[in-house]
Amino acid sequence: MSKSRPLSGRWRPFLLIAAASSTLVSCAVGPDYKRPDLPVPASYKGAAGPAAPAPALPAEWWALFNDPGLSRLAGETLAANLNIRAAIARVEQARQSTRSAAGSFFPTLSLNPSVRRSGSAAGAATSYSLPLQLGFELDVWGRLRRQYESAKDTEQASADDYVFVMQTALADVAQSYFTIHFYDREISLYQEALDLYRKQLDLTQTKYRAGLALQTDLLQAETQINSATNQLIEVRRSRAKQEHALAILLGRPPAEVSLDAQPLTVAIPTVPAGLPVNLLNRRPDVAEAERQLAAANAQVGVAKADFFPSFSVTASGGFDSGSVEHLTDWANRVWSIAPGVNAPIFEGGQLAAAHARAKARYQELVASYRLAVLGAFRDVEDELSDLKLLSDKAVSLEATLTSAREYSRLTELQYRQGLTTYLQVIDANQTLLTNELSAAQAHLDRLNATVLLMKAVGGGWKGEDAPLAR
């Protein structure tokens, strides 16, 4: 058996080429990413007071409502919401794509042992081969680096999308929770109204038997009760459906979710809006749009690099013998090395079309990014104006409600004394119920606007830190 010894100097050219490959990647064609110029306002139109950096808003923003039930549901949402789980899986997919793109910087090695039996008129022979093959692409024009940049930006976009999905799910749960308890408040109001209507019916029946009321008064009283009962049934139907929707957000079957009745009394916290310029970093959907734009920019470089020659090195080394016993003898060693160049000469316009398509895709995403930014500004302005106007509306409704209650009380008193008709009583009752329901609806609207403002400014952050996505 031959004595094995170190690799001969014939391998040195290959080793030198592989070692020098890093010095050949001196440039990366295509544009480097730069955030597009955007017109950013100095402050929000609907903000109260001068513009200033926002104070800390906790990542667990739902805690500001100081409602244990909401906090419990938020925790369940983070643990089990199926949209969040799907977004996490998308992040992992993107992460593995980035790892795959990073792998293109390294040589590929493969071991391909084989046994070959061949024959001719002179006889048959068996040969054994044990080659180790290596392939390596030299990233002279930066094509591989641009592909890696694109994969990395896509991965970050998926992370931002995950946070946006999470914020959306939490906001939906909060709004669903408030809506369910708003229905509880409506149910309570209708039940109180029905108690009053039944007492008025008893009074009307007494007056009718005494000849002090008409039969039409009885019919009107009964109709009012039936109408309120039908409305109460509809509210209960809406509550049940909203509870079913909440169950889906929690990743559970509707049969497993049931909230205790609790009239909506949650206080409305104050939410700082911060400065508009900070919104570009704090909104995960805006950050996602920008990362997608950066990924498309890198793809322009990939398409540009395809116009230039590509350089590669392929090599193999191993053993080849007609005998298994002597396969690894040093005398049976074989090797080869082959630098390669692939230069496009005529591609029928495919490369130019691919480059133009990449540039057009980039321009599309520039418009999408600008639209996302404008949409973010609009979201904040919408909720700021909503909160201000809904606060004014709540004050007006409270004054109206006070008047409606007094109107109802005096009308019932006058009816007892025979000074007014039952039609007037019905009008007073309906006015009071309508204003009670309007006040409850306004409170729900303010809570929902607060939730949407928290989402619009990017969820939770501390000082000038980046959003929760980071």
pLDDT means over runs of 10, the chain (470 residues): 43 46 62 90 73 65 93 95 96 95 91 84 82 90 94 95 94 97 96 92 90 88 94 97 97 95 90 76 90 96 93 89 82 87 89 95 96 93 93 94 93 88 88 94 95 87 42
The pLDDT value given to residue 118? 84
Query: Distance (Å, rounded) from C-alpha 315 to C-alpha 310?
Result: 17
CA angle 380, 271, 276 (to 5 degrees): 40
Give me the domains of the chain, ranges plus CATH numbers: 29-109+141-309+351-456 (1.20.1600.10)
22-55, pLDDT tens digit by residue?
444 447 899 999 999 888 888 888 776 555 555 5
For tokens 């039969």, the residue is 215
Question: What's the pLDDT at 213?
Answer: 85
Q: Which two tokens stand for residue 340?
A: 């390669």
**What are the residues whose beta carbons fall under 8 Å from the beta carbon of 191, sequence distance 6 or more?**
232
pLDDT for the residue 54: 55
**DSSP label at residue 104:** T
Position 297 scores a pLDDT of 96
The predicted pLDDT at position 233 comes to: 97
Per-residue model confidence (pLDDT) at position 88: 95
User: Alpha helix locations (H) across 250-349?
Assistant: 279-282, 284-305
d(CA 129, CA 327): 8
Residue 126: the pLDDT is 86
The DSSP element (H or E) to which 163 belongs, if any, is helix 143-209
Here the tokens at position 375 are: 């949409």
Over the stretch 136-149, which tens digit does the pLDDT of each residue have?
999 999 999 999 99
Q: Do the beta carbons of residue 444 and residue 179 sit within 8 Å?
A: yes
Distance spanning both ends of the chain, measured CA to CA: 62
Backbone φ and ψ of 129, nearest 5°: -135, 140
What is the pTM for the complete model shown? 0.84
Half-sphere exposure of 58 (CA within 13 A, CB side): 9
